[in-house]
A and B are shown apart, each in its own frame.
Chain A
Amino acid sequence: MSQLIGDNPCRPRHFRPAPCGPAPTEGPAKDALEISHTRLLIAGALFVLAFMTIAARLIEVGGFKSADLHIARLHPAAKPDIARADIVDRNGTLLATTLDVPSLFANPKQVQDKRGTAHALAAILPETSEAELYARLTSDKSFVWLGRQLTPRQEYAVNQLGIPGLDFATEGKRVYPKGNLAAHVVGYSGIDNNGLAGIERGLDDTLKMQTGPVQLSIDARLQYILRSETARQMAQFEAQAATGLIMDVHTGEVLALVSLPDFDLNAAGSAKPEAMFDRATLGVYEVGSIFKIFNTAMALDAHTATLASRYDATKPIEIAGFTIHDDHPLKRWLSVPEIFEYSSNIGAAKMAAEAGTERQRDMLGRLGLLHAPSFELPELGVPMIPRPWLPISTMTVAFGHGISVSLLQVASATSAAINGGMLYPPTILKRPDGVPVQGQRVLSPQTSTDMRKLLRLVVEDGTGKYADAPGYVVGGKTGTAEKAENGRYATHALMSSFVGAFPMNDPRYVVIVMLDEPKPHPGASATGGMVAAPAVARIIERMAPIVGIQPVDENSPEIRRSLMVGSPSPQGRKLAAN
C-alpha cells in the first residue's frame, strides 16, 4: 500500500490513479481517497458554475440587443462643459454667454528662434510688447501664456507662422452681445471667469455652478427704451449723468435700470471710473420733493392729516438759522393736495413737524428708505440719514433734503405707496410665474388710494404736466434738489428727477428718471418737471404697448371718479390750525 502511493514523490496527493491493483477497502488510505474525491467534485462544480455564468453573460450581451438602453444609461452624453452659465433677460434674450476661443501658449524649451518668434508674434498680438514676449520665451518654465483669448484672425496668423513650440488651448471667453445696453446690471467678469461687477459678481457662485441660464427681471426692450430716452434727455440738457429705473409695482422686479454714462461690457477694462459707477443702486442722492410722496403717505397713514387738512404756507419757515421757502410760493393756506401738487416745501415741513420725528422715522424705515435694501447686485449704496435726527431734520427730510437714498429705494417705496400699501423687496431676478410674492404691509389701502389721486393730480394739473402721456393715466412727482458741494448747497447744480407711475387707476409700473446737473434752456428751467418729466412721458408712451397696457379715455366717468380728490372741508382747516 505504502509503496503503491509512495512510488512517485512528485505525484499530487489527491490524484487518483487508474485502478491497477486492488482498491483500498479499508483504513486511513480509503478515507484519504474519499476526501480527495469530494474536494475534486466541489472544485469541479465551482468551475462549471463560473464558466456557465460567463457563457450566460456572453449570450446575454451578444445575443440580445435589448441591453443597449441599459448600457446607454450607464454612459450619459457628455455634459456641457461651460465655465460660466449664460445670463438672459426675462424673455430669454441673451445678455452674456461664454464662447470657446483659442489662447496661445508656448513651451519655451521647444522654441528655437526666440528673438524671431517674439518679433513675429508682436505684430499679431498688439497688446503685448516684443520685449515682454521675448522675456516670456526665454523663461525656464515649460509653459508660458503668450496671448489670451485671440480672435479667429489672430489664430490664423499664428498658425501661418508655423513656429514649433507654440500651441493653442481652448478657453471660455465671456461675450456680451448687447454691449452697453444693461452694462451696470449684467456687469462683467475677468479673464479667469471671476465675476467683477454687476450680477456677474453678485451671483458669481451660481453662475459657476449652474448649467442653465440665469434669468434676470430685466426686459431688454424696456431697457433700450429707458436708455435711449434718458440718453436723449442727458444730451439735450447737457447733463453730467443720467439715471433711470423701471419697476413692476406688484412684484418689486426691476424691468430696466440705466446709469449713464455707461460702458461696453466687452471692453470693460478700458472703461472710465465714472462710467463704471452705478448711479441707480450704488449712488445715494438727496432726491428732493420726491420725498413728499413718503411724507404725505406718512401723515395720511398716521391720520395726522387728511386730504382735507390745510397748512399755513404764507411765509417761509425760519428754523435753526435756515430758511425753508417754496420754489413756487402761493403765500396762502394750502390743502394737502395743493401742497403736493405745487410741491410746497413749507407745507410739507409743517405736515412732518405735526406728525413728529418718531412717526417720520418709523414710516421711512418701514418703506425701506433708512437701510440698504437686500438686492442681488453687489453695487449697493447705503442711505445717508440725519444723525442726530433733529427737529430741523424732520422738516427738511419732509421735502427730501438732509437724507440721501438710492433710486432703487425710491422705486420700491413709491411702488408701496401706490400698489395698495405692500412693500416688495426689489429684485433683479425674474420671479417665478404663479408664485405669490412675499410682501410686507407698510401702508393702509386707503392711504395708497389717496396717494394715487395725489400723484395723478401732479401730472394733471401740477408741477409734472410734461410727464403726461395721453391715454395712460400717468401720475408722478417731480424732484429738484440742489447738489451739496463742500457742505453747502449749490443753486446752479441740480439733481432733477421725476418719478412717474401708470396707469394711476390701477398702477402697474413705476418709471424714474434723474438727471445730474442739467443746464437750463431758454424756455426750460433745469427742474425735474422740465427735464425729467418729458422723458418719463415718452418712456411710458413707448413701453405701454410692449407691456400690454391699452390706452383709456382719461375723462371717462369711472376713471375720473376713481382718481377724484374730494374738495377740502371746513374740518380740515380746524385740524391744521390746532
Chain B
Amino acid sequence: MIGMIRLGTVLWIVVIAAVGYAMFQVKFEVTRLDQHLGDINRDIAASREATRVLNAEWSLLSDPQRLDRLNQSYLHLTPVTGAQIGRIDQIPLRAQAVAQNPQLASAPMPSKGAP
C-alpha cells in the first residue's frame, strides 16, 4: 500500500516537474517572441518613416521646376515641337522612291520626312 503511494507520488512529482519546466519554457519563449515582435514593429515603423522621408526627398529632387532649372544651366534642351515628331511609315523606302523618280538614284536621301 505504502509502496503504491510512493510510486504514484513519484510519478506525479515527475509529471509536475515536467509540466512546470515546459510551462516556463513556453513563458520564456513567449517573452522572447514578444520582444522580437516589438523589435520588428519598431523596425517597420522606422522603415516606413525612412520611406516617407525618401519619397519626400525624391519628390523634391524630381520637382519639374528644379529639373527645368538644371536643364537650363547644363543641358539647354528645348521642348519637342510637332514638326520634330514623325511616324515610321512617313519615311519612304529608298527602293520605292527611286522607282518613282529614277533621278533619286544618284541623289542623297530625301530630307523631307516629317510633316
The reply to whether chain A is a binding partner of chain B is yes
Return the chain B residue nearest A221 by Cβ: B64
B48 within 8 A of A: yes
Contact of B68 among A80, A175, A224, A541 (CB under 8 A): A224
With A62-B25, A471-B85 given, is the CB distance from A181 to B49 under 8 Å? no
Rounded to whole Å, the gap between the CB of B101 and the closest CB of chain A is 21
Contact B58 A469 (CB under 8 A): no
Return the chain A residue nearest B33 by Cβ: A71
B37 within 8 A of A: yes
Cα A223 to Cα B37 in complex, Å, equals: 44
Most B CB within 10 A of own CB, among A61, A78, A80, A86: A78
With A58-B26, A77-B44 given, is the CB distance from A545 to B62 under 8 Å? no
Contact A61 B26 (CB under 8 A): yes
Cα A471 to Cα B23 in complex, Å, equals: 80
Rounded to whole Å, the gap between the CB of A502 and the closest CB of chain B is 10
Stretch of A95-103, A290-298, A374-382 contacting B (4+ beta carbons < 8 Å): A95-103
Cα A61 to Cα B23 in complex, Å, equals: 9
Contact B82 A93 (CB under 8 A): no
Contact B62 A58 (CB under 8 A): no
B40 contacts which chain A residues (CB < 8 A)? 77
B55 contacts which chain A residues (CB < 8 A)? 86, 94, 97
B59 within 8 A of A: yes
A81 within 8 A of B: yes
B81 within 8 A of A: yes
Give per-residue flags for A52-67: 1 if the beta carbon is below 8 A from chain B beta carbons, else 0. 0011001101100000
B contact residues, range: 20 to 34
B115 contacts which chain A residues (CB < 8 A)? 471, 551-553
A177 within 8 A of B: yes
Interface residues of A in 461-490 (CB under 8 A from B): 469-472
A100 contacts which chain B residues (CB < 8 A)? 49
Interface residues of A in 2-27 (CB under 8 A from B): none
Return the chain A residue nearest B40 by Cβ: A77
B95 within 8 A of A: no
Most A CB within 10 A of own CB, among B22, B37, B64: B64
Give per-residue flags for B27-60: 1 if the beta carbon is below 8 A from chain A beta carbons, else 0. 0010000000100110011001100110111111
Contact A551 B19 (CB under 8 A): no
A538 contacts which chain B residues (CB < 8 A)? 79
A contact residues, range: 35 or more
A179 within 8 A of B: yes
Contact B58 A94 (CB under 8 A): yes
A550 within 8 A of B: yes
Q: Tell me the dominant secondary structure on chain B's binding face.
A: helix
Contact B56 A99 (CB under 8 A): yes
B87 within 8 A of A: yes
Cα A477 to Cα B67 in complex, Å, equals: 33
B73 within 8 A of A: no
B56 contacts which chain A residues (CB < 8 A)? 94, 97, 99, 175, 177
Cα A542 to Cα B77 in complex, Å, equals: 13
B99 within 8 A of A: no
Interface residues of A in 428-469 (CB under 8 A from B): 469
A224 contacts which chain B residues (CB < 8 A)? 64-65, 68
A178 within 8 A of B: yes
Contact B45 A99 (CB under 8 A): no
Contact B52 A178 (CB under 8 A): no
A163 within 8 A of B: no
A328 within 8 A of B: no
With A78-B44, A94-B55, A550-B85 given, is the CB distance from A55 to B65 under 8 Å? no
B83 within 8 A of A: yes
B83 contacts which chain A residues (CB < 8 A)? 470-471, 551
A544 within 8 A of B: yes
Contact A541 B82 (CB under 8 A): yes
B75 within 8 A of A: no
Cα A563 to Cα B56 in complex, Å, equals: 47
- Besides A545-B80, A550-B85, 12 other CB < 8 A contacts? A58-B26, A59-B22, A93-B59, A94-B59, A95-B59, A175-B56, A177-B59, A228-B65, A470-B81, A470-B83, A541-B79, A541-B80
Interchain residue pairs with CB less than 8 A apart (23): A58-B22, A58-B23, A61-B26, A62-B25, A62-B29, A77-B40, A77-B44, A78-B41, A80-B45, A81-B45, A99-B52, A100-B49, A177-B56, A178-B59, A179-B63, A221-B64, A223-B64, A538-B79, A541-B81, A541-B82, A542-B80, A551-B83, A551-B85
Q: Which residues of B contact A (CB under 8 A)?
A: 19, 22-23, 25-26, 29, 37, 40-41, 44-45, 48-49, 52-53, 55-60, 62-65, 68, 79-83, 85, 87, 115
Nearest 7 CB-CB pairings of A with B = A471-B82, A551-B82, A224-B64, A177-B59, A94-B59, A78-B41, A177-B60
